[in-house]
Structures are given as structure tokens and as C-alpha cells.
Amino acid sequence: MEFDVHIIGGGLAGSEAAWQLAQRGMRVRLSEMRGSGQGGTDAHQTDGLAELVCSNSFRSDDDEKNAVGLLHHEMRRLDSLIMRAGEVARVPAGSAMAVDRDVFSAEVQNALEAHPNVTIVRERVDELPQAGLTIVATGPLTAPTLAQSIVKATGEDRLAFFDAIAPIVHHETIDMSICWMAARWDKGGKDYINCPMTKEQYLAFVDGLNAAEKGEFKEWEANTPYFEGCMPIEVMAERGVETLRFGPMKPVGLDNPHWATPEHPNGRWPYAVVQLRQDNKLGTLWNMVGFQTKMKYAEQVRLFRIIPGLENAEFARLGGMHRNTFINSPVLLDRQLRLKGAEHIRFAGQVTGCEGYVESSAVGLLAGMMAAYQVTGREWIGPPRTSAMGALLAHVTGDAEGESYQPMNINFGLFPPLPDVNKKARKEAYTARAKSDFGQWLAALEPVPA
């Protein structure tokens, strides 16, 4: 099939971009390295499009008070394939949106395979195309050959950070006579398994983390900074004995019913808590929330089995770690995500330095829309700066300082401020303004006929 746009990378961003283009009548060639026999990555386990390699959570789905929930809302309004598939694959997670990762990937792949405007080609692309509209959505694990081609084209060194993968536990091996199910402050239902720790148990666990044998970094990983939003637990433990209690092991809002007494019939708060979140629709797999790690596998098994309730835990997957690569987007890209000096090439997804599944998908969605407007000769007017998509796009393409550019999740700090609004009402004010402005933009947007 002749194509209008070539997309390199079949992750979340590339899949979303392909969908947006195809739905607008554009013919798309989607190149994915996995499944080609020409290589894979250190993190992916399947050849499926839009595979989730870390958590199975798209984070909060609250579009009234939460920035990522607002991003969900805006993507749904733009007919996001990622959000469509997420609804089909959804599993309980309180007020968050979590998915069965296998069902999710299959939904995305089936939708694209069935679309008459999409051709999926299993191939490795080693060089940036010299001509033809192209979207590079190779993600944080871009193949070395293509990465070198990007460096050659941009004249900028790659930036990199470490991202880590959390372990997954078989539900049947969790001792529910010790653990209990609840969400923090009972918000959203009893969707998390909670493993309680006393002070003595917690301190012994931290000591174990500090003494555990860690995996060695490869030479090319040396001196690479961690992303603060996905910090390995052993690195957090090194920052202070109480750090984990104010992070992934925070106990507040979690009364342990197994510790109930006549004075406290609902139980009392543990000193620390390890939470597990459902990872598949069957409820047979649960991931350890915030427990990304670089520890060696044997050390993980030994240490995690001292957590109350996980003494006999069997792991479907242990934690791992890989290096993520991203470009200096504020310096290299224009406001339409195009490479300056080579405007036929766009970048999308985590390779641009956005962080998170939803953010990556949102940038892919925008890249697809932008390319569709370019193909048809229509004027592109971007989403308002006050919206979640507009704020994220502004961060990636120019608001951030190029010299200190780092991966960023969507947050209200990226939005134009509302200094005259009471602090307690500010989140609701941000979302209300965003929804109003986004709705007006969408209504005025010139459609691209399918």
C-alpha cells in the first residue's frame, strides 16, 4: 500500500498516532521492530503493539481534581484508541484506571490490523527517512542504530534516565489472613491488597534493602540519572530510613482490620504498608505498587518474602531496569513536534521526554492529528495552553529550559496559574477552565474528512 505517513514504532504513541491518521482517511505504514527477527528490547516481553512494560496503571481517572484524569477526559473526546482499549481491558483499581495488559495490547493491535488504512510492517528502521512525512515514536528504548541516526541529524547528544519495572505476584500465594483489601481512606472501593508492617518489620526491611546485592550497570548505562517519578526502592531507602514511609509504603488512611481491638474495632494503622494492585482482569496477578528495583532476582525473592503476607509469594515477573532515551525536545522540535531543519520528521511519545503511558499516548495523538492536517493542507491550531494536552505540548516543545530538560508527567504545575483562586478550590478551577477552553477549541477545530 502506498502511504501518506510513515510511523516508526508500535508502542502507545505510535499506535495512537496511526489510529488518529487512519480515522481521518490517511494511509499509514506502521513499522515495528519487535517480531521482525531483527532485534527486540531489554524490557518488552511480547511482540504485541502498545505493550505495557512497567505498571499496568494509567493513574487517576478523576477528571475533576487530577491533571492526568483531565488528560484522560480530553483524549476520550478526541476518540483515543488507547483510552478505548483501556476501557475494554479495565480492572479494579479504586479511583485509578488500571488494565489487563494482555487484553489491552490485543485490543490496540486488533483495531489497527482491522483498519483498512493501516499497514503494519515488522521491520527495524535504522535511519531517519530523508523524505516523506514521518513520525518517530520509537519510545525510550530506541534501537542503537536509529538512535545514532537521530544524534547525527540533531547534532545533540542523547539524554537518558533509568526506568524500573515492578514485580508481579500470583494472587493465590498471598496470605490474606495477614493482608487485607482496601483503598486509602476507603476511596474507590477495596481495590488494593495491603501488607502491614510493624516498626520493627519495616526497619528490618529497609536494612535488607540497603544490604541487598544490586544488578551491575552496563558500561553504556554509567552516570545515567534516575527519573524521580519512578525511583527504585533501594535508591529511596538509601536517602533515609523514613523515605519509603512517605512514598510507596505510606500507611496513612489504611486501618488494618486484623489488628482490631475492643477500643479500636476497625483496626489501627500499621507503621508501613506494601500495596499490591490488580494486574489482570482475572485477578490472578497483582503488582507491587511503587516497587521498581534493580536488585538481583534472588535478592528480590528473598527480601520480598519477608513482607508480611508475602512469605510464600510466587512471582510471575520480578523487577528489572532499563535505560530510557529521549531527545532535548524544547531545543530540537518546533511547536508541531517537527524536527527543526527537517520538518518532514515528527517525534512523538516518550522519546520526546514526556513521561508516562497516558502522556506518551497524548503526544502521539497530537502528532497524528498534526500530520493529518499537514497532509491535507489545512491549518493546524493547537489545543489551548490551559488544557492538559496544551500544557503538555507546551512543556515538550518550548516551555521547559533546554539545558535542564527532564521527563515530566502531566501536572497542574504545567498549566497557566490561577493565583486569585482559593488554594483548596484550585484543582477544580484548573479542570473547569480546561474543559471549557478545550471544548471551545474542539468545536472550532476544522475537521479533516475521513
**262-285 pLDDT per residue, tens:** 877 767 889 999 999 998 777 888
Q: What pLDDT digit, counting tens, does each position of 129-171 carry?
A: 999 999 999 987 787 788 888 888 887 665 666 666 789 999 9
Instruction: Identify the pLDDT of residue 143.
Output: 78
Instruction: Identify the pLDDT of residue 148.
Output: 86
Q: What is the 3-state secondary structure (H, E, C) of 1-30?
A: CCCCEEEECCCHHHHHHHHHHHHCCCCEEE
- Residue 400 binned pLDDT confidence (cut-offs 50, 70, 90): low
Domain 5-158+327-444 fold is FAD/NAD(P)-binding domain (3.50.50)
- Residue 406 binned pLDDT confidence (cut-offs 50, 70, 90): confident
Q: What is the average per-residue pLDDT within 360-377?
A: 97
Instruction: Identify the pLDDT of residue 189.
Output: 76
Instruction: Identify the pLDDT of residue 159.
Output: 62
CATH of 165-320, one of 2.40.30.260, 3.30.1330.200, 3.30.1370.60, 3.40.50.970: 2.40.30.260
Is 345 or 269 the better-scoring residue by pLDDT?
A: 345
Give the DSSP letter string of 96-133: EEEE-HHHHHHHHHHHHHH-TTEEEEE----S--SSS-
Say which range, 173-177, 219-223, 320-324, 379-383, has the weakest mean pLDDT.
Answer: 219-223
Q: Is 332 annotated as a binding residue?
A: no
Task: Give the percent of the chain with pLDDT over 70.
Answer: 91
Q: What pLDDT digit, counting tens, does each position of 2-16 carry?
A: 899 999 999 999 999
Q: What is the average per-residue pLDDT within 111-130?
A: 96
Cell of 4: 501518506
Cα(95)–Cα(69) distance, rounded to whole angstroms? 10
Which of 8-12, 256-260, 294-298, 322-326 has the highest average model confidence (pLDDT)?
8-12
Q: What is the average per-residue pLDDT within 64-92?
A: 97
Cα(372)–Cα(33) distance, rounded to whole angstroms? 24
- Give the H/E segment covering residue 389: helix 388-394
Q: What is the DSSP pairing of strand 315-317 with strand 168-170?
A: antiparallel
**Of 272, 218, 282, residue with least CA distance to 250:** 272
Residue 289 has pLDDT above 80, yes or no: yes
Residue 34 has pLDDT above 90, yes or no: no
Residue 405 has pLDDT above 90, yes or no: no
Residue 378 has pLDDT above 60, yes or no: yes
Handedness of CA 28, 131, 407, 383 (dihedral sign): negative
Q: What is the average per-residue pLDDT within 71-91?
A: 98
Burial of 446 (0-12, 13-18, 19+ CB in 10 A): exposed
Q: What is the mean pLDDT of the chain?
A: 90
Q: Is 10 annotated as a binding residue?
A: yes
Is 63 or 38 the better-scoring residue by pLDDT?
A: 63
Which of 157-161, 308-312, 413-417, 444-448 has the highest average model confidence (pLDDT)?
308-312
Q: Is 35 annotated as a binding residue?
A: no
Q: What is the average per-residue pLDDT within 330-341?
A: 94
- Residue spans of the domains in the chain: they are 5-158+327-444, 165-320
Asked if domains 5-158+327-444 and 165-320 share a fold, the reply is no
Residue 342 has pLDDT above 70, yes or no: yes
Cell of 130: 530523508
Under 8 Å between Cβ of 94 and 71? no
- Residue 416 CB neighbours (<10 A): 12
Instruction: Identify the pLDDT of residue 271.
Output: 95
Q: Is 11 annotated as a binding residue?
A: yes
Contacts of 189 (CB under 8 A, 6+ apart): 92, 94, 183
Instruction: Identify the pLDDT of residue 403.
Output: 62
Is 368 or 316 the better-scoring residue by pLDDT?
A: 368
Q: What is the average per-residue pLDDT within 208-232?
A: 73
Cα(367)–Cα(361) distance, rounded to whole angstroms? 10
Under 8 Å between Cβ of 165 and 39? no
Q: What is the 3-state secondary structure (H, E, C) of 357-383?
A: HHHHHHHHHHHHHHHHHHHHCCCCCCC
Q: What is the average per-residue pLDDT within 103-131?
A: 96
Q: Is 320 annotated as a binding residue?
A: no
**Of 55, 34, 48, 50, residue with least CA distance to 82:** 50
Q: What is the DSSP pairing of strand 342-347 with strand 338-339?
A: antiparallel
Q: What is the average per-residue pLDDT within 366-372?
A: 98
Instruction: Identify the pLDDT of residue 97.
Output: 96
Please list the residues that pair with 256 across neighbouring strands: 268
Spell out the alpha helix ranges (H) of 218-339.
233-238, 297-304, 329-332
